Amino acid sequence: MDIDFKTKISDLKTSQREWFATAMVAMVLADGEIDRTEVDFIVKLATLVKDDTTVERLKKFIQFKTVPPLSTPQGLEKKVAMTMILDLIRIAVADQDFAQAEKDMIQSIGKSMGFNRDELDKLVMYGFELMSKQEAS
C-alpha cells in the first residue's frame, strides 16, 4: 500500500512533526489493535520525522501498547490541523473499523488542536465515508 499523507510533512517544524508522529501512534493504539496497514502509516511517518530519539521513543509506545501523552501542538494553521485530523482518521479506518475508542481519540486530539465538537463530528462522519469507500474498493 502506498501511503500518501494529506499533511505536507516537509512544511512542518521539527516539533510539529514530532507531535504529529506522536498523535499517529496514539491513533494506532487507540483501539488496542495494531493492524498491518496502521503500522505502514507509522513506518512511513518515521522516515519523515528523521529524529532517531523520537522514533525510538514512539517504537517503545507501540511495543508496550501504551498510548503516548499528547500536548497541545504549537503554531499549527487551521488548514494544516485539518489535514492532520484527516490523516489520523485515515489511520483509524485503515483496518476497515472505526471503533468508538478511535472516535474518542479523534475528539481528544482535535480538541487539543482547537476544533470544536461540531467540526470534529463532521470530520468523524467524513471518516465513515472514507471507510465506506475503502470497503467498496
Query: What is the domain-level CATH number for residue 120?
Result: 1.10.3680
pLDDT tens-digit profile of 16-60?
Answer: 999 999 999 999 899 888 878 777 777 777 777 878 888 889 889
3-state secondary structure (DSSP) of residue 13: coil
- Judge whether 105 lies within some domain: yes
Higher-confidence residue: 48 or 113? 113
Give the chain's domain count. Answer: 1
What rounded mean pLDDT belongs to the chain?
Answer: 85
